[in-house]
Structure 1
């Protein structure tokens, strides 16, 4: 579990996924927290993470986390990595329930993911992608020290901006 000032990022385990697929009341009981209706827009992504974890649960920490607001004991979103590090790089993503947006929780969750990633010596860089426009997600990344790198075209998502954050103290080649 990753703990921040206001949040707990709880690993989205196979057993939690099984309960989520059964229904909200089962999921609430398994997590021991309140789960709001329509708590995520990313159920498809969670299903992908679930299938990846079933293939190899030893790498579950490189997939999804559930964002729990500690004081309210409520599930307020999900976040995580898009798989194991490749060439020293991991990619992050995050989502906050509308009721909890604009309170700094996405910034806090992203920071928790970044700090956690850098506890692994093989990680030297964290990437993220946003839609190719000024938006809240870009602000979350800027507040965490990310730098805009480039615009690219994704076959599914269209035009995206790529952002990166390098491990502090990494020397760049000349």
Structure 2
């Protein structure tokens, strides 16, 4: 089964709103044009967009070019629901129909790190992805020395599957229960 057009316009959690990137949003950010985001009622959070976001936008545009409209298996903006500030991004690098899996990534501006936002956003995206019924596995990668990401992925029940010279590779199966966030 192929990924279908996203039938929702956002996901919400206790503190966050997740809104999918569109090609236009990505192209505008690359041109340093935030008028479209402002028209949506969104604001640039402190430190956003940070260099990793700018570097990732062309890949997001490429992923979006492979589908007619966002499916949800692309990238999402992370927005604080009390201030409507964009503080990061999380999402997937496209749906692999043959393997029934997706690879997840995430990032939060330095000013907003260590507040649980990445965990809240990624947990919601994992729940949503498995709820579609077409995903059996979510994969992730992180640098060998990135102890924060290693601990984060372990906390979310990801299992290390292999290592290469630079990266650790992780897997979360739908059969393995996701850890519930305790605040």
TM-score category (smaller protein): 0.7 to 0.9
Specify which of 11, 22, 39 is matched with residue 49 of structure 2.
Answer: 39
TM-score by length of 1: 0.84
TM-score by length of 2: 0.80
The structure-2 alpha-carbon separation of the partners of 1:92 and 1:165, relative to structure 1 and needing over 3 Å to count, comes to same
Spell out the pairing of 1:148-163 with structure 2 (5 A cutoff). Answer: 148-153=160-165, 159-163=166-170
> Stretches of 4+ moved more than 6 A in 1?
none
Contact map agreement 1:20 1:27 (CA 8 A) in 2: no
The structure-2 alpha-carbon separation of the partners of 1:28 and 1:169, relative to structure 1 and needing over 3 Å to count, comes to closer
Residue 35 of structure 2 is matched in structure 1 by: 26
Contact map agreement 2:48 2:86 (CA 8 A) in 1: no
The structure-2 alpha-carbon separation of the partners of 1:90 and 1:63, relative to structure 1 and needing over 3 Å to count, comes to same
Q: CA deviation at 1:31?
A: 3.6
Show CA shifts across 1:86-133 (max 9, x none): 412111000001111001111111111111110122211111001012
CA distance in 2, matches of 1:66, 1:90: 18
Q: CA deviation at 1:134?
A: 4.7
CA distance in 1, matches of 2:64, 2:148: 30
Matched, 1:7 2:19: no
CA distance in 2, matches of 1:117, 1:38: 26
Residue 83 of structure 1 is matched in structure 2 by: 94
Spell out the pairing of 1:92-171 with structure 2 (5 A cutoff). Answer: 92-153=104-165, 159-168=166-175
Q: CA deviation at 1:28?
A: 3.7
5+ residue gaps, structure 1: 154-158
Alpha-carbon RMSD: 2.1
Show CA shifts across 1:75-94 (max 9, x none): 00011101113412111000
